[in-house]
Structure 1
Amino acid sequence: MQNLDQFLEFTVEKAVRIMQAKAGSLLLLDQEAGDLYFKVATGDKKEELKRFKIKVGEGIAGMVAQTGEPLLISDVRRDPRWNKDISESIGYQTQSIVCAPMKVGDEIIGVVEIIDRINGTSFVENDLKILTEFGELAAHAIGNARKIVQVDRENRDLKEELAVKYQIVGNSSSIQKIMLEAKKVANSTTSTLILGESGTGKELLARLIHREGLRKDKPLIVLNCAALPESLLEDELFGHEKGAYTGAMNKKIGKFELADQGTLFLDEIAEMSPSMQAKLLRVLQEGIFYRVGGNVPVHVNVRVISATNREILQEIEDGKFREDLYYRLNVVTIEMPPLRERKDDIPLLAEHFIEYFKLERGTPKLIISKEAMEKMLGYSWPGNVRELRNALERAVVMGNGKAVLPDDLPILDPKTKYPGMQVGIPLEDALNEFKKEFIKLNLRNTGGNRSKAATIMGIQRTYLSRLITRFEIKDI
């Protein structure tokens, strides 16, 4: 805003010089009070002027602010709209005045006025045109400054909102240790590999590392490697040139390029095919890549954070994951603990999620009953924090709006056990029977939600649907 003030002063001073006037001023409109106040003033009486305010509709400046039309007054003493109070108060005899509105769109935001020619002659119509252009220039600068301030405010609000949304909640020793390690790693550019079961908050940890690090003001780009087939994954990572393939109508910027100077978080990294692993390794080693269909190298400086829920060392031993890529990604490893190993955090997490859902659904007095909390503490949470959040969300939606009760939670009694297998049946039949009961158990646990059940079981939803059809599972 300091630069804006300097620009407005320069604009008024320039208008005064060009029009060979004695003084000029720029007044802004206070919409709530309905007053014009002196933002900029030149001339011998400029400091005294800044004490005054002018009502909209009062005097020449007030009339211009009210109508939005410029005015040229050759002799103010003969114009009934002239208000001499300010001139008399500061001991200045005004002869001639020209005043133009400042508008942002259709909104009048103030006026700019020039007073008295140095040589004593009156202003003419051409002076009015010149001042109108200066008014438009000043209004444009103010409008742009407002936009910048608004964008800055929105960015700040968004960062605060995201910090809350992606907050890691917990006071347990295990989670505090993890957060301490993450903050240490954040102050470097070291590649970091995050391990942990599904739903433990690996992405939250990656966001914390970025937020606390040297690149916090640069972009964080997130990509789930398991969500895309190999051809689309390459396109997402590296982008493509126009005409690279049928349907590539325009050039596309990939995730690596979008993350330049920032951070790229690659979730489910172990799901990459061997050929994609080789391409990723080359980028990490050389810092360059080629867009699909392109032959011009693209240079990037990206910090890579990756994550997987697989036993990565076993994947390497089985030949499914490149050992050289593992060592490139695994400069520092942080393992997120499962929720069952930090049950002390369940009350904090539950209250955190409930507060969010209370605001979302407009139920400010909603509480978690003691019995519901005991049920949550006694459950093993195979889907970890994600399952806890989903369970509470369902409880809030399906509950009475006053208290979360045990029956509102889509989780089974921790004492519930699978009844066991029969003897005298083939192994394949026994395995199929177990799969059927296991699927039914998880479907009941998620209230019949196949996507959630598939996530908990660590399989694709489409595969779960095929198993449900195969085993003729109904009425869940």
Structure 2
Amino acid sequence: MQQKSILVVDDEKGIRDTLEKSLKKENYNVLLAKDGHEGLDIINHDSVDVVLTDLKMPSLDGITFLKAVKQIDPDIEVVVMTGYGTIDSAVESLKAGAYDFIQKPFKKITIMRAVRKAVEKQSLITENKYLKRKLEELYGFKNIIGQSQGIRKIIEIIQQVAPSHAAVLIQGESGTGKEVIAHAIHYSGERRQKPFIKVSCAAIPETLLEAEIFGYERGAFTGAVAQKRGRFELAHGGSLFLDEIGEVSPFIQVKLLRVLQSGEFERLGGTETLKSNVRLIAATNANLQELIAQKKFREDLYYRLNVININIPPLRERKEDIPLLVAHFTDFFCKQNKKPIKGISEGAMELLKAHYWPGNIRELENAIARAVVLTKNDVLQPEDFPIAITKKEDPRSFVEIPFGMGMEDIEKLVIRETLKRTRGDKNMAAKLLGIASRTIYRKLKNDK
């Protein structure tokens, strides 16, 4: 762990020496200054985590010094010490940004406890900033991999819309990277320091979805033993990502429309009207205009969601991006599995380019992950990939149904076989079968 630096600012040499000795015993790096001007000079040239400063000093008093420190670096925690402690001076110090206020003479245990807590807070702030930077790196533009015209156009749209607060509708087949695009929009905009909350509308039973999105009050239904905040509340100030928005029931669509129009909603079982300031990003692999024609999706909600539209092309329509994606996933899984693979053979690359990719980028990612783990070569070869890829399987191949099989069993067979072709992707399977993904969960619920 990196040694923390403590700056002691006091015009009394005896105080400085005593604190230096005590702090060094606690393994802190100690810097000393006899007045505020010398202290500011040190802060401008050295790394300082916590400052211990006297309140009454010649030429530059403690409050003025404290304010100057916060202007230079707001993350530095300041503990104020004084022999002239009053409630007013303590309040003034805390208002100016001091972490703590300690009156002289103080016990060693008191000052060490204050320093330790200030260091812990400063470390937490530093860690949070680091994690936020990593999140921005992890979910920023660099994760949108490709050089095709379609991908370049999407990046251009994101750069334009990210600073705004407009609702965004992302459309594309399952596995094309809709969530990656949603993350990029959030972490490239003004809301990036605020929460990004996701709701998978297809994975949550319809009876629970309303409570999950809007929250509920205690006693709202059987099992609601305590109040729970919904996703709109959790995302306040940030972005709410509603994945598979086409699966939402007409009843919940009405409630979503109201939030989009007024920013107001009530928790389930509640009477208090709550306000929510969120950017709504929705995604779907369904054709919403077809659902509108079938009276399954509200046209007014569609227009509220579709302020900015991003349509992600399937992988089979941007095969020039496959080499870049393969390089990215190979590098990632090699590091994850500690395998020294140099690359991929020309023959294997040609197979990947020729494949239909019904599961899109997710299927490609899984194929690379499998190949990296199972290969015995230092270059990925055709035999390292699944048979469905090496045999160039036709994604439109048929399913054999034995004569006399019951209708319920036929449904399960077709669903299972379709899931095999989509590598277990229920959303993609549902689209191919023309049913809701929720139906797949229900049909196979008790299937062993």
TM-score (structure 2 length as normaliser):
0.71
1:157 aligned to 2:150?
no
Contact 1:238 1:254 (8 Å CA) reproduced: yes
1:234 aligned to 2:234?
no
1:195-236 per-residue CA deviation (whole Å, 9 max, x = no partner) reads 111111111111111112121221111111111122211111
* One-letter code aligned to 1:133: T
Please give the secondary structure, in 1, of the residue aligned with 2:31.
strand
- Partner residue, 1:383: 359
1:395 aligned to 2:375?
no
* One-letter code aligned to 1:404: L
Within 5 Å, give how 1:371-450 maps onto structure 2.
371-400=347-376, 402-410=378-386, 411-413=388-390, 416-417=393-394, 440=417, 443=420, 446=423
Greater than 4 Å deviation, 4+ residue runs: 4-8, 28-31, 34-37, 40-43, 413-422, 432-442, 449-462, 464-467
Query: 2:295 & 2:149 partners in 1: Cα distance?
Result: 36
Which of these residues, 21, 24, 27, is aligned with residue 16 of structure 2?
24
Query: 1:147 & 1:8 partners in 2: Cα distance?
Result: 22
Please give the secondary structure, in 2, of the residue aligned with 1:396.
helix
Contact 2:5 2:29 (8 Å CA) reproduced: no
1:329-357 per-residue CA deviation (whole Å, 9 max, x = no partner) reads 11121100010110000000011011110
Change (3 A) 1:419 1:261: closer
> Displacement of 1:158 after TM fit?
4.2
1:142-175 per-residue CA deviation (whole Å, 9 max, x = no partner) reads 33323322333343334434448x8110011111
1:308 aligned to 2:308?
no
- Partner residue, 2:113: 136
- Partner residue, 2:150: 174
Contact 1:347 1:373 (8 Å CA) reproduced: yes
> Displacement of 1:185 after TM fit?
1.4
1:343 aligned to 2:335?
no
> Displacement of 1:390 after TM fit?
1.1
Which of these residues, 278, 296, 306, is aligned with residue 272 of structure 2?
296
> Displacement of 1:457 after TM fit?
4.6
Query: 1:333 & 1:163 partners in 2: Cα distance?
Result: 19
- Partner residue, 2:163: 187
1:147 aligned to 2:124?
yes
- Partner residue, 2:338: 362
Contact 1:28 1:36 (8 Å CA) reproduced: no
- Partner residue, 1:258: 234
1:345-392 per-residue CA deviation (whole Å, 9 max, x = no partner) reads 000001101111001100033522221111000111111111111111
Change (3 A) 1:292 1:143: same
Change (3 A) 1:251 1:175: same
Contact 2:139 2:183 (8 Å CA) reproduced: no
> Displacement of 1:404 after TM fit?
2.2
Query: 2:8 & 2:261 partners in 1: Cα distance?
Result: 51
Structure 2 portions without partners, runs of 5+: 41-103
* One-letter code aligned to 1:152: K
Change (3 A) 1:201 1:143: closer
Query: 2:413 & 2:204 partners in 1: Cα distance?
Result: 28
Contact 1:454 1:464 (8 Å CA) reproduced: no
- Partner residue, 1:330: 306
Which of these residues, 160, 174, 187, is aligned with residue 211 of structure 1?
187
Query: 2:133 & 2:7 partners in 1: Cα distance?
Result: 26
Change (3 A) 1:434 1:366: farther
- Partner residue, 2:260: 284
Bigger Cα displacement from structure 2, 215-224 vs 436-445: 436-445
* One-letter code aligned to 2:111: F
Please give the secondary structure, in 1, of the residue aligned with 2:208.
helix
Query: 1:240 & 1:463 partners in 2: Cα distance?
Result: 28
Query: 1:251 & 1:8 partners in 2: Cα distance?
Result: 47
Query: 2:371 & 2:131 partners in 1: Cα distance?
Result: 33
* One-letter code aligned to 2:311: E
Contact 1:28 1:38 (8 Å CA) reproduced: no
Contact 2:201 2:242 (8 Å CA) reproduced: yes
State the percentage of identical aligned residues.
Answer: 40
Change (3 A) 1:401 1:346: same
* One-letter code aligned to 2:16: G
Query: 1:299 & 1:181 partners in 2: Cα distance?
Result: 29
Contact 1:197 1:338 (8 Å CA) reproduced: yes
Query: 2:439 & 2:373 partners in 1: Cα distance?
Result: 26
Change (3 A) 1:290 1:341: same
Change (3 A) 1:271 1:35: closer
1:248-277 per-residue CA deviation (whole Å, 9 max, x = no partner) reads 222211110111111111111010011111
- Partner residue, 2:31: 38
Contact 2:354 2:392 (8 Å CA) reproduced: no
* One-letter code aligned to 1:188: S
Contact 1:240 1:292 (8 Å CA) reproduced: yes
* One-letter code aligned to 1:182: I
Question: Rg: which structure is higher?
Answer: 1
RMSD of aligned alpha carbons: 4.4
Change (3 A) 1:40 1:160: farther
Query: 2:299 & 2:247 partners in 1: Cα distance?
Result: 15
Query: 2:113 & 2:269 partners in 1: Cα distance?
Result: 48
Contact 1:260 1:300 (8 Å CA) reproduced: yes
* One-letter code aligned to 1:27: E
> Displacement of 1:187 after TM fit?
2.1
Query: 1:29 & 1:159 partners in 2: Cα distance?
Result: 40
Bigger Cα displacement from structure 2, 366-375 vs 408-417: 408-417
Contact 1:382 1:456 (8 Å CA) reproduced: no
Contact 2:174 2:427 (8 Å CA) reproduced: no
Query: 2:432 & 2:114 partners in 1: Cα distance?
Result: 63
Number of residue equivalences: 378
- Partner residue, 1:274: 250
Change (3 A) 1:370 1:128: same
- Partner residue, 1:320: 296
Query: 1:313 & 1:30 partners in 2: Cα distance?
Result: 68
* One-letter code aligned to 1:24: R
Query: 1:390 & 1:189 partners in 2: Cα distance?
Result: 34
